[in-house]
Structure 1
Amino acid sequence: MITLNFAAGMQKWLVISCGILVFFASCEKDIDIPLHETQPELVVEGSIENGRPPIVILTHSLSFFDGLDSQQLASSFVHDATVEVTDGQQRTVSLKEYSLDTTNGNKVYFYSIDTTDRQPLLGIRGGSYRLHIRTGGQTYEATTDIPEQGIYLDSLWWQPVVVVKPEDTDRVYLTGRLVDPPHRGDAVRYFTRRNNEPFYAPSISVADDQVTNGSVFDIAFDQGRPKDDPSDDDEPGYFRLGDTVTVKFCAIDRATYDFWRTWEYAYGNNGNPFSAPVKILGNIKGAAGYWGGYAAQYKTIIIPKEE
Structure 2
Amino acid sequence: MKNTIYNWSLSLVILLFFGSCEKVIPIKLDNSDKQIVIEGEITIKKEPYFVRISSTKNFDENNDFPGRTDALVIITDLSTGKAEKLVHTGSGVYQTSTLQGVAGHTYQLDVTVDGKNYKAQSTIPMKVVKIDKLSIRSFELDTDKKFIVPEFTDPKGEVNFYRLRQWINGVLVKGSWARNDEAADGRVFDTPFYYDTSDEAGNPLIKDGDEVTVELQCVDKGVYDYFRTLSETIEQEAAAPANPLSNISGGALGYFNACRTFKVTSTIKL
| TM-score, with structure 1 as normaliser | 0.69
Aligned to 1:211: 183
What displacement does 1:173 show? 4.1
Alignment of 1:208-287 (within 5 A): 208-222=180-194, 229-230=201-202, 239-269=206-236, 271-272=237-238, 277-286=241-250, 287=252
Pairwise CA RMSD: 3.2
Aligned to 1:12: 27
Change (3 A) 1:137 1:208: same
Change (3 A) 1:53 1:227: farther
Letter in 1 for 2:187: S
Find the aligned partners of 1:291 and 1:227 in 2 and give their Cα distance.
Answer: 31
Q: Deviations over 1:120-144 (max 9, x none)?
A: 2132332321111122222221111
C-alpha contact 2:128 2:261 (8 A) present in aligned 1: no
Change (3 A) 1:156 1:224: farther
What displacement does 1:190 show? 0.9
Aligned to 1:96: 87
Structure having the higher Rg:
1
Letter in 2 for 1:200: V
Is 1:62 aligned with 2:57?
Answer: yes
Is 1:178 aligned with 2:152?
Answer: yes
Change (3 A) 1:226 1:122: farther
Choose which of 38, 41, 54 in structure 1 pairs with 2:35: 41
Is 1:123 aligned with 2:117?
Answer: no
Is 1:192 aligned with 2:146?
Answer: no
Ranked by relative contact order (alpha carbons within 8 Å, sequence separation 6 or more), the top structure is 2
Q: Deviations over 1:190-247 (max 9, x none)?
A: 111112x23335x34111111211212422223588997346xxxx7x6322112111
> Which has the larger share of strand?
2
| TM-score, with structure 2 as normaliser | 0.77
Q: Deviations over 1:84-142 (max 9, x none)?
A: 1112322111101112xxxxxxxx3211124xxxxx21323323211111222222211
Aligned to 1:112: 95
